[in-house]
Homo-oligomer: A and B are copies of this chain.
């Protein structure tokens, strides 16, 4: 494993891990092992880490494997930035479902007087970006890879047979954690279907098997489970129960730091008309459109690979290296 040449000379900022549960201690232990190996690079804040060249090589291999798993769809590859218009929030029920996970971008639109006031607030140890000329901007951080696709597709008429897109988004979720598999910034590779309701259901059913097979082929102890999104608050509990009852979400889970609490490394999601309705996406002939997606968590799968095959990537099973496209 290639570690930064002078990693040992660096004075890593310690993260505060007081009051952790046994599960969190196991997570922090793996995180610290990754820091010590130079595979992850600490920035001194929970959930914000850098990555070594070795980590990145494996991560790009995981993107390659995820892309290949749906090669026969002849999907259109698209790329979107990690910052998207606030209209995502305005046109969906995101604020009802996951307000606590969102990153809202604020910018300085003030005068030199406001600037001086912000600097004074900073010097006094205060919150310089509250007031002082700082305001909500027209954008938020990307919460899930496929969201910009619906913004871009606003008003589109898609063939009933469906269009499939692939993309790798850099997502943000505000959930600082000692778990290296719960980063605030992470990549999600997705295959996304826009088309008829039946087509969307068939796409999801097919990917339930396929996503499991893909992760099993990487030598990972993967299992498929019915799952729910982490909806906020008491109302959220009802929404989660409904999602499970309708089996709209499946996850492929892999133990990373705990056998009892395996980590969701991929998910298959039926959105029904959750995105097609607010963004006016319809099928040929004015028929209703549905969307569905399969997402692979690139950093989580990479961490699972290091956990189950060890830190020496050169010594991984050759079949696994082949699937990752590593020489």
Contact = CB atoms under 8 A, between A and B. Distances in A.
- In the complex, the 5 A-B pairs of residues with the closest C-beta atoms, listed nearest first: A11-B155, A53-B77, A81-B185, A107-B174, A104-B129
Interface stretch (A135-143, A261-269, A316-324): A135-143
Nearest to A10: B156
B115 A107 contact: no
Interface of A: 4-6, 9-11, 13, 41-45, 48-53, 55-56, 76-85, 87, 89-90, 95-96, 99-100, 102-110, 112, 115, 118-119, 122, 127-130, 133-139, 141, 148, 151-159, 163, 165, 170, 172, 174, 176, 183-185, 232-235
Contact of A11 (B141, B148, B154): B154
A81 B183 contact: yes
Nearest to A187: B81
Contacts of A159: 6
A10 B43 contact: no
A78 B95 contact: no
A114 to B, nearest CB: 8
Per assembly, the copies of the chain total: 2
Contact of A106 (B78, B103, B158, B184): B103
Given A10-B152, A82-B185, 4 more contacts: A43-B148, A45-B139, A83-B141, A100-B109
A106 B158 CA distance: 36
A76 B109 contact: no
Contacts of A55: 79
Contact of A156 (B11, B42, B56): B11
Contacts of A42: 152
Contact of A127 (B44, B83, B136): B136
